[in-house]
């Protein structure tokens, strides 16, 4: 009698667990995005639209490139997405073209204007905006949840990226570590500060950034600031390099005087400035530059 009562309790307990698990299954999957909005699906989304290059790259890094049905006009990696429909930029997306593709989810930047409009048309929108190394990992996890890639596989991908960044740092000889670097993102000139994604990579490589964290991630600098800081190495994209040596006083900068300039072609610039899964490649590009040019 006592025994059967205990058994009964056990059965009720098990049944309760079963119900709980069942309801969790029925609720499908859910993801909370950078706006704090929780988005739910009954089944993993199959048709994906991305409106930010780093998010496109993240989806592909997770091996789910085949689920992409449309991307923004700036997404250009990997090559397999070349044939996908272009849906405008993240800022001026073509609402009609997006809706016509019937996506199960639209991944885009938080600053995009179209978020509310797409939601009012009944689309599921996940706004994610990676800005730092930690964000890249977080966004990788979130996108993995959206596309249904399990946490272990995602963790492995992240470990590989992280290990590759460390390897790039270890490949540098000791004397390079003292190099003082200026990374220019825009001719205005905007520099990449220590607080930026690019600055974090420079820190990981062990070199010094002439733009301190206190100035913010991408401060607009007085050209005089750069002359005074006198960097040993300058990193810049080739379309921003034009006329750099002709700026007043810049000939005196050590990097310019001794030709310690790394001018990256556009494809490499894309890798360097996008906070996405190619950050290990970005670290390797910077390490190669430092090996060749650092004093």
Partner 1 sequence: MNTATLHSPLTDARANSARPLWLAVGLVLGGAVLALLGLGVGSTGLEAVWNMLADPVAAQIVWEIRAPRTVGAFAAGALLGLAGAVAQGLFRNPLADPFLLGSASGASLGVALALAGLGVSPFATQWLVRLGLTGAAFAGAVLAVLLTLALARGVQHTLRLLLAGVVVGVVLGALTSLVTLTAPDTLPAMQAFMLGSTGFVGWASCGLMGSIGLVCLLLAAGLSRVLDGLALGESTALSLGLPLGPLRAALVAVLALATGTAVAQTGLIAFVGLAAPHLVRAVVKTTHAWLVLLASLMGGVLLMLADTLARGLLAPQELPVGVLTAVLGGGYLLWLMRKRVG
Binding footprint of partner 1 on the chain (CB under 8 A): 34-36, 85-86, 88-92, 94-97, 99-100, 102, 110-114, 116-117, 120-122, 129, 186, 190, 216, 218, 220
Nearer of residues 35 and 288 to partner 1, judged by Cβ: 35
CB of 273 to partner 1, least distance (A): 11
CB of 59 to partner 1, least distance (A): 22
- In sequence order, which residues have a C-beta less than 8 Å from that of residue 18 and are 6 or more positions away? none
Distance, in Å, from the CA atom of 203 to the CA atom of 199, rounded to the nearest integer, reads: 6
CB of 65 to partner 1, least distance (A): 22
CB of 95 to partner 1, least distance (A): 6
Q: In terms of DSSP H, where are the helices of 53-150?
A: 53-61, 95-100, 115-120, 133-147
Distance, in Å, from the CA atom of 35 to the CA atom of 214, rounded to the nearest integer, reads: 26
What angle do the packed helices 279-293 and 151-170 form, to 10 degrees? 0
Nearer of residues 35 and 177 to partner 1, judged by Cβ: 35
Nearest residue to 236 via CA among 193, 181, 184, 281:
184
CB of 131 to partner 1, least distance (A): 8
Nearer of residues 126 and 280 to partner 1, judged by Cβ: 126
Q: Are 98 and 49 in contact (CB under 8 A)?
A: yes
Nearer of residues 37 and 229 to partner 1, judged by Cβ: 37
Nearer of residues 168 and 199 to partner 1, judged by Cβ: 199
How deeply is 26 buried, as exposed, middle or buried, from its count of CB atoms within 10 A (0-12, 13-18, 19+)? exposed
Nearer of residues 77 and 218 to partner 1, judged by Cβ: 218
Q: Are 62 and 80 in contact (CB under 8 A)?
A: no
CB of 234 to partner 1, least distance (A): 19
């Amino acid at each position: 009698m006592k025994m059967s009562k205990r058994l009964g309790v056990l059965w009720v307990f098990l049944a309760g667990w079963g119900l709980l698990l069942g309801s969790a299954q029925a609720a499908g999957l859910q993801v909370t995005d950078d706006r704090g909005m929780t988005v739910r699906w009954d089944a993993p989304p199959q048709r994906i639209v991305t409106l930010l290059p780093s998010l496109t790259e993240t989806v592909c890094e997770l091996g789910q490139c085949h689920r992409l049905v449309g991307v923004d006009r700036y997404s250009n990696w990997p090559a397999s997405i070349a044939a996908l429909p272009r849906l405008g930029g993240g800022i001026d997306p073509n609402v009609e073209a997006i809706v016509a593709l019937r996506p199960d989810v639209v991944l885009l930047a938080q600053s995009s204007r179209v978020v509310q409009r797409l939601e009012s048309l009944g689309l599921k929108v996940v706004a994610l905006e990676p800005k730092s190394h930690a964000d890249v990992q977080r966004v990788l996890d979130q996108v993995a949840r959206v596309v249904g890639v399990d946490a272990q596989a995602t963790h492995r991908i992240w470990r590989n990226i992280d290990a590759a960044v460390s390897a790039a740092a270890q490949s540098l000889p000791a004397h390079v570590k003292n190099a003082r670097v200026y990374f220019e993102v825009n001719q205005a000139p905007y520099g990449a500060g220590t607080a930026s994604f690019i600055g974090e990579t420079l820190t990981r490589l062990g070199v010094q950034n002439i733009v301190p964290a206190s100035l913010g991630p991408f401060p607009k600098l007085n050209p005089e600031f750069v002359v005074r800081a006198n960097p040993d190495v300058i990193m810049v994209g080739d379309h921003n390099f034009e006329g750099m040596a002709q700026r007043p006083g810049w000939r005196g900068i050590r990097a310019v005087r001794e030709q310690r300039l790394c001018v990256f072609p556009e494809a490499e610039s894309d890798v360097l400035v996008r906070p996405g899964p190619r950050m290990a490649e970005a670290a390797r590009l910077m390490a190669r530059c430092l090996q060749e040019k650092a004093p």
